[in-house]
Chains A and B, each alone.
Chain A
Amino acid sequence: MNVQSEETLRATILDSLLSVAPDIDAAALDPHLEFREQFDFDSMDYLSLATALHARLGVDVPEVDYPKLGSLDGCVRYIADALSRRSSP
């Protein structure tokens, strides 16, 4: 299976983020900064983000790993990792 290019993956993740938090400004997003700091994310938002990522990418993020979804860069790293583990048994 082809591992998605990072750029496509990043766009898909951003799209997931916007689907659960449509009231944020994607262009002003700092990819390094925690969503909690930038957008006042709470635990419900992280659960919704995990749900959206699962729907779009088929990755089921365990609750203990939610902190790794803290920022956009963190999400990209985590999901890329999960997808590559899945494609290379």
Chain B
Amino acid sequence: MPSLGADMESAVVTQWLVKPGDRVERGHVVATVETAKGIIDIEIFGSGVIEKLAAAVGDSVPVGGLLASYRAEAEAAAPAAARAPPATAPPEAAAPRPSPGPTPASPIMSGAARPPGAPPSRDSAAERRLVSPAARKRAAELGIDLASVGPARAGLAITIGDVERAAERAAGATGAQPAAPPSRTAGPSDMRGVIAQAMSRSKREIPHYYVGTTIEMTHAVRFVRTWNAEHPVTERLHVGALLIKAVALALEKAPELNGFWRDGRFEPSAAINVGTATRLRRGGLLAPALEAANRQPLPNLMRRFQDVVERARSAHLRQTELADATITVSSLGEGGAETIYPIIHPPQVAIVGFGSVVTRPWVIGGAVAPASVMTATLSADHRVSDGHRGSQFLLAIDRLLQEPEKL
């Protein structure tokens, strides 16, 4: 069981997508597990043949615990290959991912290796289409067998509402309460608890400093509007993608804002993986990472952005997306407040906040005129950087957003 964040202790196996004897390729999604951050795809980091599933659906497995074992490629060819006893640190445990480091060695972990917008490999794609992940999760919580739940109308996916109604019916019919959820240390209702823990640690341990500035957005907004009028819906942009790209490019010259504070020292990260804080409709938020955001052409970055937001909201992210962010961006989107003062998500050392784009009086060429503007704030760890550096970083973002066509 890989760690999907510093605050995670264990996860519950929700589905196996392989069985003993199946061939697996590196990067193949072999299982899904449930954490407070949703249903996460577990990828395998080698190729071979699945030997044994060590955990059953519903089992809670601690971080570092054995999920499954497989015979690696070369061994698989040889009959009766030596089998590592599962109890003693099996060398071929599924997803034996080392703790996220600044330079992932395995190609599957680098952003470039994953095709833009590619969904996780879905062995049971047909099945998943018919049951929303949120519904699947709720069914597990309520102890409802999905086979007993029908969609609101034939042909539609089973949604969370269908599951809840089925649970009510079941409770009504037997006069009993729905079955107790399986024991676990983290479930979706615990998301608030996870946020509380991380943010308390942030406020307790990280000496934040804050800088802010107002950025003229006329060019960026016009660029997006013009682009979108000229491109089909599948290629359209969102201002949010420009903001992420500008942050990623500005970070290339501000390495002390990108990385982790661990064991009393700063570990800069060579990779720039921008976490994007995503609000969930049923409460809470997640910040899946857009890997190597500085190197993605804007249209690719946009498609990946759209993809992770959708999957965060359907509670279906991949493990690397949850563990890899080296900085976070928190953007209020349109129609929100003008300024946000976010706090750092440990062990990261900085977070960038963007308020809503608003029309305000602005001085252009010595005269006051209405303009589209947006506030940008930076909260950063004073153990690693100073306000002056943070200020330069925000000004670099400003400059980048004045030439959106170069992003």
Contact = CB atoms under 8 A, between A and B. Distances in A.
Contact of B132 (A22, A27, A61): A22
Interface string A34-58: 0000011011100110110010000
Nearest to B163: A25
Given A15-B155, A23-B280, A44-B240, A50 B161 contact: no
Contact of A62 (B156, B229, B280, B282): B229
Interface string B305-333: 01001100111000000000000000001
A47 B161 contact: no
A14 interface: yes
Contacts of A28: 161
B281 A21 contact: yes
Given A27-B152, A27-B162, A18 B157 contact: yes
B111 interface: no
B132 A18 contact: yes
A24 B159 contact: yes
Contacts of B228: 63
Residue from A18, A43, A61 whose CB has the most chain B CB atoms within 10 Å: A18
Contact of A39 (B152, B238, B281): B281
Interface in A2-26: 11, 14-15, 18-26
Contact of A11 (B153, B238, B280): B153
A78 to B, nearest CB: 13
B133 interface: yes
Interface residues of B, number: 37
B234 A23 contact: no
B26 interface: no
A81 interface: no
A51 B156 contact: no
A60 interface: yes
Interface in B135-161: 135, 152-153, 155-157, 159-161
Contacts of B159: 18, 22, 24-27
A50 B280 CA distance: 20
A22 B314 contact: yes
Nearest to A64: B229
A51 B307 CA distance: 11
Given A15-B156, A63-B228, 10 more contacts: A11-B153, A14-B153, A21-B313, A24-B281, A26-B162, A28-B161, A42-B334, A48-B310, A54-B232, A61-B233
Interface of B: 132-135, 152-153, 155-157, 159-162, 164-165, 225, 228-229, 232-234, 236, 238, 240, 279-282, 306, 309-310, 313-315, 333-335
